[in-house]
Copies of this chain bind each other. A is one copy, B any other.
Amino acid sequence: MDREQLKSEEQNSEVLNSMKNIKDIPKEKVKAGTNAYRQVLIGSEEGPNFIMRRFTINPGGEIPAHTNRVEHEQYVLCGSAQICIGGNVIKVKKDDVVFIPAGIPHWYKAEGDEPFVFLCIVPNIPDRVQMIDKK
């Protein structure tokens, strides 16, 4: 492979866009949540097959029960939380890995004094969020 070939302008431009830091990515409020924020790290225009998001739920915050059409692959970056998946409540903390299948109801409730922060990767296909009424 000719290394010079790789240095075409087109590829350089691709490469320049390929690295970013989370502090440069805006946080948007999760409308259905309380003290919950989302950052889109790799969006639908950039990732051909899947999208990387980062969620922050501040102490006392939560994202209430809902379903998605898409599965979630998650990695906890810091803090701890209770997550309910399909009726089972689990406790998660830094370096835990969570898989939430498509269509299964789930909610998140931050625990402790530090923000609960996690990555959530979803396929790059249209999603639909359906909130579940509390009884």
User: Which A residues have a C-beta under 8 Å from some C-beta of B?
Assistant: 1, 3, 6-7, 11-12, 14-23, 25, 41-42, 46-50, 52, 71, 73, 75, 77, 85-88, 90, 92, 95-102, 104-105, 119, 121, 123, 132, 135
Contacts and interface: CB of A to CB of B under 8 A. Distances in A.
A100 B6 contact: no
Integer count of this chain's copies in the complex? 2
Contacts of A92: 19
Given A6-B87, A15-B90, A42-B99, 15 more contacts: A3-B87, A3-B135, A6-B86, A6-B105, A12-B88, A15-B104, A18-B85, A18-B99, A18-B100, A18-B101, A20-B97, A21-B96, A22-B97, A23-B95, A50-B50
Nearest to A50: B50
A22 to B, nearest CB: 5
Main SS at interface, chain A:
mixed
B11 A87 contact: yes
Contacts of A52: 73, 75, 97, 121
Contacts of A47: 71, 73, 99
B121 A86 contact: no
Contacts of A87: 3, 6-7, 11-12, 15
A129 to B, nearest CB: 14
Contacts of A16: 88
